[in-house]
Chains A and B, each alone.
Chain A
């Protein structure tokens, strides 16, 4: 679990900087080995590098020495051999310590220390299965990209729950820890949004794998990024698909009363009506309930062509199974990426056949990427449980890559990470080929810009339409 405190805002490892810098001088002094008292010694020129022995270079260095011999000060030139660690380039540069400016400040990682990246999902309660799945996706990225420039990346795993209180508690914990560079998360919009205000002050960039609420990035904050679609992109495309491809003219809206589900369904409804479709019902179901037959019965009275569901796999599977019992056998069941998982198909058993969902549109090669990811996931964690694990992998990978491009090695061997540069490097990803699809950040941090594709359940598996 390591050093995860964050109470002391002032803990700095910069003090350690000085220690490393004096190494060269010390070695030079030790090399003299005479009883004479050396007053001053200035290296002039490296004559040649003699030998590479493991990790050190033995150099011949010409030095000017002032030596006190019998009360007299003698100045002489001498060539000595010096052992220098490979990393230290030229000893003379020592005085001009890398000057790094960043409007958001920097994070200095001392040699041997780790780069700390937060990971906030939901580990307890109703959504724990989705949350742990997302956590695993990110963990896989941390496993596969274990270091940046020789510095290990450490994942700080926290439970942000799906509530504002959980979100702000974690955000404050990270904000109080000057070593936290960036955050993968949070999972729910309701946790991400209050947290983002705190990250904004602390200049910690966040990349959410699954906060889809339009308002998450639309509030003019600098640190808010995400790799998933926002509800508007997905909802609009889904409405178009429902009307023009599936040929549904009437649709009933069902959401799970979550920020994700309700937001999505709102967008879908607007777009669907604008395209000339008719919405017959707008209903919310309660997460934790298992019997939705009553609400489906009233929906069936409007005889919609299609049921659009904003929510996750658990409720989705129950709905698609129960709709057949109340006279909605012919209505198409159409969900969002929240139901695009094998768990949905398994829970609904045969009833899931023929239901649709939106999903990232993959070309041939990209689909291989996802398949490869899922294979590696299964190998490490077993069956994937939910829809956003690939997004979490991408979010973590993007952050690690951004840190790589926004950091420099200092002369003393520590790593200096520029906070604003990290955020800019995240947003500089255009056409990034992630396992969850093509990620293309815009100015406000919406990365999920890629084309919305659609899938159908056929033979107990999701396949592209």
Chain B
């Protein structure tokens, strides 16, 4: 065993890569063939493709918006903030209560735009408060603990927040009265294709947010400090950076984005319950990983990719749409086989992951 070990190890590594490549190529070939078949047989009219492309972009923008917050926190702490979706939910709840109050008091009719702005501010500030408390109570004491420990703490926090919201605000569905709000209701029609106004808003918001984040991370002093903390905490500390403060601010920023996404989703989907953050949170996490977790443009890309895979996948491969998550996760596996650190994963994230 000992004499042949090195060669065996190397050949194993070689065959693994070769095997995986062959596997990936095979799966890819099957999918490509199926796609070709769908197009050749003209199973769908062109409007189905276009509509689902738009649907996919809109859905992807939702994922991207949430994934940006996810990836920001991950990028600095290398921890999966499982409770991110719950921060989003609480933001959406807060937004709802303010909106409700403004409807009851007639303020919405008095000044619609201002109301919407206030609702967003309310949602975002509650999210920030929750996020900061989360960091202080559930995560900060665990800094330096093994990687899985903060993960469990995050899961606990997620379960707690979800059920606390259920207890405090009840199980009934909170309904954002979007159709009553001029500007948010309805949508634009491009020929045969209808796009809801809220969808457009989400896409615009996601892109603006991403650009702003990229600028913040790469150009600002705060961004520089963030990158330093992400790279090496002790050294950053030695360089005079208040590591705890930077992490707290990053959390606040990520939660701010979650709160914004929550209110936006409230307007978009109208229904808010205590479970509203769970699935999107999970999907956004997937999107962030897909793009290369910790990478801001990667989260965006991953979000759009996931959204498109979910909405175009069943169309392209002629599969019942109940399998859309199978397609999404299948493509995720396929991509990670070839790029184990995601679409835009860096050397850094591989090292840390």
Touch between chains A and B, by CB atoms below 8 Å: yes
Q: Which residues of A contact B44 (CB under 8 A)?
A: 298, 301
Size bracket, chain A contacts: 35 or more
Q: Which residues of A contact B62 (CB under 8 A)?
A: 291
B45 at the interface (CB under 8 A from A): yes
> Known: A291-B62, A294-B56. Is A129-B320 also a contact (CB below 8 A)?
no
Q: Which residue of A is nearest B268, CB measured? A: A290
Find out whether the CB atom of B314 lies under 8 angstroms from the CB atom of A294: yes
CA distance A326 to B53 in the complex (A): 12
Find out whether the CB atom of B56 lies under 8 angstroms from the CB atom of A285: no
Find out whether the CB atom of A326 lies under 8 angstroms from the CB atom of B322: no
> Known: A288-B279, A325-B194, A326-B51. Is A298-B173 also a contact (CB below 8 A)?
no
Find out whether the CB atom of B269 lies under 8 angstroms from the CB atom of A129: no
A409 at the interface (CB under 8 A from B): no
> For chain A, what secondary structure do more than half of its interface residues adopt (helix, strand, loop), or is it mixed?
helix
A-contacting residues, B163-221, CB 8 Å: 163, 166, 170-173, 175, 177-180, 187, 192, 194-196
A86 at the interface (CB under 8 A from B): no
Size bracket, chain B contacts: 35 or more
Interchain CB contact (< 8 A) of B179 among A125, A285, A326, A349: A349
Q: Which residues of B contact A257 (CB under 8 A)?
A: 322
Interchain CB contact (< 8 A) of A327 among B47, B171, B195: B47
B271 at the interface (CB under 8 A from A): yes
> For chain B, what secondary structure do more than half of its interface residues adopt (helix, strand, loop), or is it mixed?
helix
A284 at the interface (CB under 8 A from B): yes
Kindly supply a per-residue 1/0 record for chain A positions 27-51, scoring 1 wherever the CB is within 8 Å of any chain B CB and 0 otherwise.
0000000000000000000000000
Interchain CB contact (< 8 A) of A129 among B270, B273, B279, B312: B273
Q: Which residue of B is nearest A299, CB measured? A: B321
> Known: A124-B163, A128-B274. Is A385-B320 also a contact (CB below 8 A)?
no
CA distance A133 to B172 in the complex (A): 9
Find out whether the CB atom of A288 lies under 8 angstroms from the CB atom of B278: yes
A406 CB, nearest partner CB in chain B, Å: 35
CA distance A133 to B171 in the complex (A): 9
17 contacts between A and B (CB under 8 A): A125-B275, A128-B166, A133-B171, A286-B325, A288-B275, A291-B55, A293-B55, A293-B311, A294-B59, A294-B310, A294-B324, A317-B271, A325-B194, A343-B173, A347-B173, A349-B177, A349-B179
Q: What residues make up the interface of A, taking CB atoms closer than 8 Å to B?
A: 124-126, 128-129, 131-133, 257, 282-286, 288-291, 293-295, 297-298, 300-301, 313-314, 317-318, 321, 324-327, 343, 346-347, 349-351, 383, 385
Q: Which 9 A-B pairs have the closest CB atoms?
A: A294-B311, A284-B322, A129-B171, A290-B269, A295-B321, A288-B279, A128-B171, A349-B179, A293-B55
